[in-house]
């Protein structure tokens, strides 16, 4: 029992290290090394080397930098600004039109980036000043941008799904197919919330003035064709090739990266500066993800080797709550951890522990995977470790206070939990499209 206790003590050790301000990957590796040496001895060194090698040899992970680069190039193509103007005109007569245009554009960018930081930062610079200038409620304006930005981690080509697949031995292509409908449902819930709130209280989000939404129909049609149709075609080509089995995620990501460059060239934005900036941002984001992946994989290996996984399994099956009660406990653990730990660490630590339990409970691993990913999406909105909040605060005008942002995310956290509940009650929301594309 001694090694199992050491394994459990690894979690408070991580919490202490993170709160002391050490980088997450350093804490994960350091705790694994010292606890592993105490409870396991020198074999921990071989385990750490094997865990790092697994990351280097995994054939799905090269998709991460490629998808990030695709999103960076599309961002620099200037599509966001032009598309945002077109969407404002389309939603113009409706109350909350700018917020609705923001959510619609975030949904589109979610299907082109696979991450959260870029959509939140871009829309914070683009949409937040517009909403503030038009007298929008500050908490609702900030919450809208943050919630829309989090769709990037769920809607394909989600980096989260790329990491999840190899961990749980689940097809990334099936995960992509399964995530499309839940992602659109969440987007619909967000837009419905904005529309209802602004209908009840028009001061929270006034419609666009008639003179600003006046655009000849021919000009509007031209703007849609030039600015948005190529964007849609690239998304459909990349995601369609994955979902329907025409290309592996890494191959499709490579095509998407090239298409992103071509789109930037078509809009005369493919220059040395933009290319260097995109490469630099891709390098920083990918290094962050993959370094934590190595650290978390080392941590999980040490935890399982010390018997921690079996201890948690025994505890969960001991609980007198039934299989859905066990599922609720697992999701609650992930939700609470999202307040304090980065989503990558949560995913890479807990999925190897929880994934083997799922078949024993009689649940579909694909369905469980999407429940976990939707639950993890809340980690971007739940303070104090909500990274997206810091992204937005970093680009927001001075009048936007941190407390305004905290207030703004609360309704959207509730909406994410409602979306999660719908996926639990109606499993076909998750499973219908993968079944249609691949069969059972």
* Termini Cα distance of the chain: 41
- Output DSSP code: residue 396: S
CA angle 202, 206, 208 (to 5 degrees): 155
Which residues have a Cβ under 8 Å from the Cβ of 435 and sit 6 or more positions away? none
Nearest residue to 106 via CA among 152, 156, 52, 49: 152
Q: Which two tokens stand for residue 155?
A: 């809607």
- Rounded Cα distance, 390 and 111, in Å: 23
- Rounded Cα distance, 371 and 78, in Å: 34
Write down the pTM of the prediction: 0.84
Percent of the chain as helix, strand, coil, to the nearest 5: 80, 0, 20
CA 265 to chain centre: 28
Q: Which two tokens stand for residue 247?
A: 């290309």
The answer to whether the CB of 421 falls within 8 A of the CB of 401 is no
The pLDDT profile of the chain, 440 residues, written as one tens digit per residue, is 467 777 777 778 877 887 777 777 788 888 888 887 777 777 777 777 777 777 777 777 788 888 888 877 877 777 777 778 788 888 878 888 889 999 998 898 888 777 777 788 878 888 888 888 888 999 999 999 999 989 988 988 888 898 898 888 898 889 999 999 999 999 999 999 999 999 999 888 888 777 766 677 777 777 777 777 777 777 777 877 777 777 778 888 888 888 888 888 887 888 888 889 888 888 887 887 778 778 777 877 777 777 777 778 888 888 888 899 999 999 999 998 888 777 887 888 888 889 888 888 899 999 999 999 999 999 888 887 777 888 788 778 888 888 899 999 999 999 999 999 999 999 999 999 999 877 76
Residues in the chain: 440
The answer to whether the CB of 226 falls within 8 A of the CB of 236 is no
Nearest residue to 347 via CA among 312, 310, 375, 321: 375
- Output DSSP code: residue 385: S
Nearest residue to 369 via CA among 175, 163, 180, 229: 175
- Rounded Cα distance, 249 and 61, in Å: 9
- Rounded Cα distance, 389 and 209, in Å: 30
């Amino acid at each position: 029992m001694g090694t199992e206790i050491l394994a459990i003590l690894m979690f408070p050790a991580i919490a202490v290290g993170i709160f002391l301000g050490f980088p997450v990957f350093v804490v994960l590796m350091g705790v694994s090394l010292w606890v592993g040496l105490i409870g396991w001895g020198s074999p921990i060194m071989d385990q750490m080397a094997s865990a790092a090698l697994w990351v280097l040899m995994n054939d799905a992970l090269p998709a991460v930098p490629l998808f990030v680069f695709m999103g960076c190039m599309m961002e620099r193509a200037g599509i966001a600004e032009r598309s945002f103007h077109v969407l404002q005109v389309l939603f113009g007569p409706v109350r909350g039109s700018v917020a609705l245009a923001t959510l619609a554009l975030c949904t589109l960018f979610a299907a082109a980036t696979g991450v959260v930081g870029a959509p939140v930062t871009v829309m914070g610079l683009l949409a937040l000043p517009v909403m503030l200038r038009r007298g929008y409620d500050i908490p609702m304006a900030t919450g809208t941008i943050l919630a829309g930005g989090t769709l990037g981690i769920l809607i394909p080509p989600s980096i989260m799904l790329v990491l999840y697949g190899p961990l749980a031995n689940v097809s990334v292509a099936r995960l992509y197919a399964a995530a499309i409908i839940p992602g659109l449902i969440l987007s619909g819930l967000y837009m419905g919330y904005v529309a209802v709130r602004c209908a009840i209280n028009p001061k929270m989000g006034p419609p666009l003035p008639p003179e600003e939404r006046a655009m000849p129909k021919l000009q509007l049609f031209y703007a849609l064709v030039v600015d948005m149709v190529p964007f849609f075609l690239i998304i459909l080509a990349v995601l369609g090739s994955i979902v329907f089995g025409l290309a592996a995620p890494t191959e499709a990501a490579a095509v998407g990266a090239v298409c992103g460059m071509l789109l930037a060239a078509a809009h005369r934005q493919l220059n040395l500066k933009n290319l260097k900036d995109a490469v630099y941002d891709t390098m920083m984001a990918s290094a962050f993800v993959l370094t934590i992946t190595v650290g978390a994989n080392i941590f999980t290996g040490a935890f399982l080797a010390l018997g921690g996984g079996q201890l948690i399994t025994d505890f969960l099956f001991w609980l007198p709550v039934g299989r859905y009660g066990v599922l609720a406990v697992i999701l609650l653990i992930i939700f609470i951890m999202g307040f304090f730990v980065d989503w990558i660490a949560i995913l890479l630590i807990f999925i190897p522990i929880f994934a083997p339990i799922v078949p024993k409970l009689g649940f579909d691993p694909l369905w469980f995977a999407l429940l976990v990913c939707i639950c993890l999406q809340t980690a971007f909105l739940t303070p104090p470790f909500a990274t997206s909040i810091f992204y937005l605060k970093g680009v927001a005008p001075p009048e936007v206070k941190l407390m305004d942002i905290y207030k703004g995310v609360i309704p959207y956290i509730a909406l994410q939990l409602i979306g999660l509940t719908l996926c639990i009650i109606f499993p076909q929301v998750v499973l219908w499209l993968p079944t249609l594309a691949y069969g059972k």
